Amino acid sequence: MKYNFDEIVPRRNTNCVKWDSSPNDDILPMWVADMDFRTAPAIIDALIRRAQHGIFGYTKPPQAYYDAVIAWFERRHQFTIQKEWILYTTGVVPALSAIIKALTVPGDQVIVQTPVYHCFFSSIRNNGCEITTNKLIYKDGVYRIDFDDLEKKTSDPKAKLLLLCSPHNPAARVWTEAELHRIGEICIRNQVIIISDEIHCDLVFENHRHIPFASISEQFLQNSVTCTAPSKTFNLAGIQAANIIASDEIIRKKINKALNINEVCDINAFAVEAVIAAYNEGEDWLEELKLYLYDNYLYLKQFIETALPYIKILPLEATYLVWLDCSALRQSSREIAKNLLEKEYLWVNEGAMYGENGEGFIRLNIACPRATLTEGLMKLVKGIK
């Protein structure tokens, strides 16, 4: 490999949420979704060049910013985007909050498909809306969409939005074109707008293909808003840059107003350079990263199947977040995570934080060097046994 993903990069004492939030230095954090790898060298070089300029005033993304975003999604996902559709902001969660503010009024219902990324819940509540759950069906180790229930939930006149997590976090599903078609048809029929969080769209593994929801048809494009960012792809969460893609002019103007109301309508000088470098020069690094991540998954799978055969490992179609079914332990996910933290100093996410049907699961971040993963798995096995 050209890039060394086995390198251990110390992250403690760098103001790192993942590592510096630990109560003590013995805790191994495998929870929050960022990677323990250096980002692509081209991005680092671009940031160094920008820092050397020495002036960091108010920043406006240039044409090169839009060109990089547009070319990336055309090349990687066959999604044709126009410049005027793009609204930039500091992150996908601020984007979701602004979109909900723009397209709902307090008391409206926003549908989520649980278990799902927990920040969806706070973005809905903070805007005074009601959370409506379209629970995913878990059977034979795989999650599927309950379309009958989705039809019922969207038919409520109070239902205004569906937050679609695509690819899905934490279940690591890549929705098929047939599934996306059916979601889109149900929502159009019931006048529900789809907000598609596609932050993990670049981290999709072999035999699966991410299909941007808005790329499927003109109708779907007009009835949706897409949220993207290079943050998961290139480990740039701390740079704070994301893009909202909204082709409908009326919807876009409402969102732009909400971004300004929420004061998240600007990105910083380093974010601009990072986005341009990532999308223009980071592709070969990403391809090697995906190979390494999937090898980590296969390593974890063999390790756990040998040591803990009663723990079910869900297929990893996308992301670097492995969803483990620990229901055989007959403990709550909170108890499992608490025991691992207190007894083995391993920090994982409890499944219940992603919705009540995440109970009995834990989420494990495997975006780390193999030696770190091995240490974490040994702690996991010892703690569960």
Residue 83: inside a domain = yes
| Domain match, 322 and 373 both | yes
Q: What is the C-alpha to C-alpha distance for residues 222 and 89, in angstroms, rounded to an integer?
A: 21
| Domain match, 234 and 174 both | yes
Listed residues 281, 311, 336: the one ending a domain? 281
Q: Convert the pLDDT of each residue in 329-369 to its tens digit.
A: 999 999 999 999 999 999 999 999 999 999 999 999 999 99
Residue 227: inside a domain = yes
Give the β-pairing of 321-325 and 312-313: antiparallel
pLDDT of residue 203: 98
- 357, 384, 374: which is closest to 170 by C-alpha? 357
Collapsing DSSP states into helix, strand and coil, what is residue 16? coil
Q: What is the C-alpha to C-alpha distance for residues 255 and 103, in angstroms, rounded to an integer?
A: 8
- Output phi, psi for 197, to 5 deg: -85, 105
What DSSP string describes 152-189? HHHTSTTEEEEEEESS-TTT-----HHHHHHHHHHHHH
Q: What is the C-alpha to C-alpha distance for residues 207 and 228, in angstroms, rounded to an integer?
A: 22
In which residue ranges of the chain is pLDDT below 50? none
Collapsing DSSP states into helix, strand and coil, what is residue 330? coil
For residue 270, the Cα-to-chain-centroid distance in whole angstroms is 22
Element (H, E) at 109: strand 109-112
The Cα diameter of the chain in Å comes to 58
Q: Where are the alpha helices (DSSP H) in the chain?
A: 17-20, 41-53, 63-77, 92-103, 119-126, 147-154, 177-189, 218-222, 231-234, 249-261, 269-281, 283-307, 333-344, 370-384
Number of domains forming the structure of the chain:
2
pLDDT of residue 361: 98
Give how far Cα 353 sits from Cα of 60, 115, 123, Å.
Answer: 37, 8, 14
pLDDT of residue 23: 81
Residue 2: inside a domain = no
To the nearest 10 degrees (0 to 180), the angle between helices 92-103 and 119-126 is 40
Radius of gyration, alpha carbons of the chain: 20
Residue 131: inside a domain = yes
Listed residues 251, 281, 311: the one ending a domain? 281
| Domain match, 188 and 337 both | no
What CATH number is associated with residue 315? Answer: 3.90.1150.10
DSSP 193: E
Q: What is the C-alpha to C-alpha distance for residues 279 and 230, in angstroms, rounded to an integer?
A: 8
Element (H, E) at 131: strand 130-133
What DSSP string describes 49-79? HHHHH---------HHHHHHHHHHHHHHH--
What CATH number is associated with residue 133? Answer: 3.40.640.10
Amino acid found at 151: E
- Output phi, psi for 252, to 5 deg: -65, -40
Q: For residue 176, give its domain range.
A: 55-281
pLDDT of residue 1: 86
| Domain match, 306 and 362 both | yes
